[in-house]
Amino acid sequence: MNRRRMRRLAVAVYVLNVLAMTWPVATQFSAARPLILGLPLSMAWPVIWILIGLVTLLLLDHVENGRGRP
């Protein structure tokens, strides 16, 4: 993937993350059940987004840095 597309993807993930954590989208994931790996859904939901953030940043850094940027 080229750098511009990767940056756009990162911005898109960021916007989705903001929406996912706040009203009204978060209301769809606000219940305690089902449990996911023992955690309530309401807690697993932000944890999932932390992991998505980590993967996005790793990809972004890989692409940005793989092209000989300082």
Partner 1 sequence: MPQWVVVSSIIVAYLALTLWVGLRAGRKTSSTVTGFVAGDRNFGFLVMYFVTGATVFSAFAFLGGPGWAYSRGAAAFYILSYGVLGMMPWYVIGPKVARVGRQLGQVTQAQFITGRFPSRGLSLLIAIISIAALIPYITLQMRGAGIVIEAVTEGNVPLWLGAAVAYGVVLVYVLISGVAAVGWTNTLQGVFMIGIAWALGLYLPFKLYGGVGPMIDEIVTQRPGFLDLPGLDADGQPWSWAAYSSAILVSAIGIQMWPHLFMKAFTARDERIIRRTVVWFPTFQLFLVPVFLIGLAGVMFVDELAEPDFILPHLILNVELPLLMVGLFCAGALSASMSTGDALLHATASVAVEDGIRLFKPLSEAQQRYLIRVLILVAGVIAYFFAVSEGMSLVVLLLTSYGMIAQLAPPVVAALFWRRATTPGVIAGLAAGTATALLFFFLPDLKPIPMHEGIFGLCVHVPVLLAVSLLTPAQDGARVEAYLNPPSE
> Residues in the site for partner 1, rule: CB under 8 A?
10, 14, 17-18, 21-24, 26-27, 29-33, 35, 37-40, 42-43, 46-47, 49-51, 53-54, 57-58, 60-61, 64-65, 70
Q: Burial level of 48, CB count in 10 A (0-12/13-18/19+)? A: middle
Q: Decide whether 1 or 21 has the Cβ nearer to partner 1.
A: 21
Q: Decide whether 1 or 39 has the Cβ nearer to partner 1.
A: 39
Is the peptide bond between 70 and the residue preceding it cis, with omega within 30 degrees of 0? no
Tokens of 39: 């955690």
